[in-house]
Structure 1
Amino acid sequence: MRTHRFLTLITASTLLLAACGVGGDSGDSGSANKLTWASTGGQFQEDEKTALQVPFTTKTGTVFTNISPAEQSQVKTMVAAGKTIWDLANMSWIYAGAYCGELFEKLDDPALDRSKFPPGTTGDCFVPTYRYANVFSYNADLFPGAKPTSIKDFFDTKNFPGKRVVYDYPKAGLFEAALVADGVPPDQVYPLDLDRAFKKIDTIKSSLVFAASYGQIQQMLVDKQAAMVITVTARTIVSAQSGANLVPVWDFNTTDIGALVIPKGAPHKALAQQMLAFVTEPAQSVAYAKLTGTAPSRPDIDLNTVGYSDIQKKFNAFLPDRGKTIEQDKQWWIANTDALTKRWTSWKVG
């Protein structure tokens, strides 16, 4: 079954305008080497420019045109119209897995050696460009006495009262956390027992806040409107830097990957694959990890060479002695995201 049919449709004319460069910044359009890069915008796209694009330009002379935001619906429209303009897009690997060969190019450059990456983190149309975790942490200012010490405490509102904020998307780490808190051994979490997970999440439903954006999560934590959170590494770091007195709980967390994917019909596919290989090389991986607090995509890169700040180290799930982590099962999520999202939406209002 194809996933993500739930995506909101936007008019083709609007999407094509966006795809052609609305919201972007361009270099010399006459350059022989050109790549159009679509991403999230904001500081993270600036970090991509600094750590990844500038060194590649220095090495190859490639000129980048930056577009934001990178939306799956725009890829669908461009491919359907036969007018793909983007070469690389920073978006969920789920899309690339669900529509591999249909809306996204298969990666066939020998330099993209999948044996370099952790097991379970690659697909025919994606390789990881960085790694992160869905980190469970609490606001220490709201727990002057007993402190949460395990993932079970996220679901214990009697001993640890307060709102729990999560990103409003099923793949944000909550379902795996619910199962482990309910007694499932971490290495037996997949395939997800959704009935059991929903039953566990039901026990704290009245204390859950479903955030529409990572910015909302950050604001709730800084304003002490939420006592606990499960959210991505980078947003946890930014929230702490903004004043939230967060303490991570290294009992159980899920890990995941970020990916740059190539839309079907990309005008510079070969060069885009060269860029993907370049991004995962140690120098660029380390530079990007240092800026963002994420982890390099390849396990052969020593995290001690990154030069993380103290606050980045505090929330880095890939350092030693950080409890049990499991990689989110890529094939399970590719196959089940659409059905689970529908169930999740219905459950929230039920």
Structure 2
Amino acid sequence: MQTYRFLSVMAVGAMLVAACGVGGEPAGGESGAKTLTWASTGGQFQEDEKKALQKPFTTATGTAFTNVSPAEQAQVRAMVTSGNTIWDLANMSWIYAGAYCGELFEVLDDPALDRSRFPEGTTGDCFVPTYRYANIFSYNADMFPGEKPTTIRDFFDVERFPGKRVVFDYPKAGLFEAALVADGVPPEQVYPLDLDRAFRKIDTIRGSLVFAPSYGAIQQMMVDKQASMVLTVTARTIVSAQSGANLVPVWDFNTTDIGALVIPKGTPNKALAQQMIAFVTEPEQSVAYAKLTGTAPSRPDVDLETVGYTEEQKQFNAFLPDRGTTIEQDKQWWIDNTDALVERWTSWKVG
């Protein structure tokens, strides 16, 4: 297993937080009161989780929830290392769970988590998808009154379509796959990523790229018209449009990915936490969450027509018909290569 330096930061402060249980009371053991401690992103998306996922589970089982944020990998490591795991579920990148499956995260072994229910390539030993989303290429229509971008190649054409391009400052945000397809690689041949070729293509627009430190920053830049194009996740595209950015998606090529609830190693509530994950992926809950967030249910047997998306949500939903070519980001490739790519990405930006 690789070192994953970007994942393995272990601060003393984080260990103290874990040991002291800051952010909520420790969850009760399965033999006592049924309580699950849920770590997530905070803000509106965690409120959506409470409404669509947690409250129905409380009604069905009597389980209470303690919510904390943010869900950080360093704190998981600190908890597990100190032998005091107080989080039962964490909404964080599946890369962490894949890289440290069985070490920092529990293997999911509940038969209710039948992996054949989920799209091919979206599961691992320590994770299954709880929702799906896409990394979407959109442009600000106010800034292109004439010719409009129509393909992913246009994201890389600053002569015909000038202006800044905003991307999240993290390699797995869809930019590398987009660069390769824009450079002529057939979508079905994108993986394994040819990083040399991808970096050469990205270099052609380097002076027009803006690396946003957060999704909130992306939203603000698009609303303020600080950029003409954006490549970002479904939910943030929707929120940006709702906030006033006149965004139009380009349905040529996009990548899809998953959100996941993972279980930190050593929780005394593993069985109940797995029951919760299975509950989250059932049609009623997954539809309720998709309706609030504009994401897609994790299981393909859930009819998207039953979600009741708003027109704005439909506009940016990559899983509806006639939305061009999409490919699922290769989970094992990213688990194996993220550490090295993050290091190269960081050097490239300052080089």
How high is the TM-score relative to the length of structure 2?
A: 0.97
- Residue type of the alignment partner of 1:132: Y
- Give the conservation status (yes or no) of the 8 Å contact 2:169–2:212: yes
- Give the conservation status (yes or no) of the 8 Å contact 2:41–2:71: yes
- Residue type of the alignment partner of 1:4: Y
State which drifts further: 163-172 or 14-23: 14-23
**Distance (whole Å) between structure 1 residues aligned to residue 21 and residue 293 of structure 2:** 26
Q: CA 1:181–1:3 in structure 2 vs 1: closer, same or farther (change >3 Å)? A: farther
- Give the conservation status (yes or no) of the 8 Å contact 1:136–1:228: yes
Aligned pairs for 1:129-140 (under 5 A) are 129-140=130-141
- Residue type of the alignment partner of 1:229: V
Aligned position for 1:202: 203
- Residue type of the alignment partner of 1:324: T
**Distance (whole Å) between structure 2 residues aligned to residue 129 and residue 87 of structure 1:** 16
Q: CA deviation at 1:10?
A: 5.2
Residues 234-265 of structure 1 deviation map (CA, whole Å, 9 limit, x = unaligned) = 00000000000000000000000000000000
**Distance (whole Å) between structure 2 residues aligned to residue 101 and residue 27 of structure 1:** 21
**Distance (whole Å) between structure 1 residues aligned to residue 339 and residue 16 of structure 2:** 25
**Distance (whole Å) between structure 1 residues aligned to residue 274 and residue 49 of structure 2:** 16
Aligned position for 1:331: 332
Q: Does 1:175 align with 2:211?
A: no
- Residue type of the alignment partner of 1:258: G
Q: CA deviation at 1:267?
A: 1.6
Aligned position for 2:292: 291
- Residue type of the alignment partner of 2:62: G
Q: CA deviation at 1:18?
A: 5.3
Q: Does 1:64 align with 2:65?
A: yes
Residues 191-221 of structure 1 deviation map (CA, whole Å, 9 limit, x = unaligned) = 0000000000000000000000001100000
* SS of alignment partner, residue 229 of structure 1: strand
- Give the conservation status (yes or no) of the 8 Å contact 1:117–1:298: yes
Aligned pairs for 1:266-277 (under 5 A) are 266-277=267-278
- Give the conservation status (yes or no) of the 8 Å contact 1:21–1:67: no
Aligned position for 1:16: 16
- Give the conservation status (yes or no) of the 8 Å contact 1:180–1:186: yes
**Distance (whole Å) between structure 1 residues aligned to residue 25 and residue 200 of structure 2:** 47
Figure out how many residues of one structure are paired with residues of the other and give that number.
350
Q: CA 1:3–1:117 in structure 2 vs 1: closer, same or farther (change >3 Å)? A: farther
- Give the conservation status (yes or no) of the 8 Å contact 2:129–2:258: yes
Aligned position for 2:79: 78
Q: CA deviation at 1:4?
A: 3.1
**Distance (whole Å) between structure 1 residues aligned to residue 9 and residue 120 of structure 2:** 35
- Residue type of the alignment partner of 1:123: G
Unaligned runs of 5+ in 2: none
How high is the TM-score relative to the length of structure 1?
A: 0.97
Residues 136-174 of structure 1 deviation map (CA, whole Å, 9 limit, x = unaligned) = 000000000000000000000000000000000000000
Aligned position for 1:348: 349
Q: CA deviation at 1:9?
A: 3.4
Identical positions, percent? 81
**Distance (whole Å) between structure 1 residues aligned to residue 143 and residue 32 of structure 2:** 55
Unaligned runs of 5+ in 1: none
Aligned pairs for 1:67-106 (under 5 A) are 67-106=68-107
Aligned pairs for 1:1-350 (under 5 A) are 1-2=1-2, 4-7=4-7, 9=9, 11-17=11-17, 20-24=20-24, 32-350=33-351
* SS of alignment partner, residue 295 of structure 2: coil
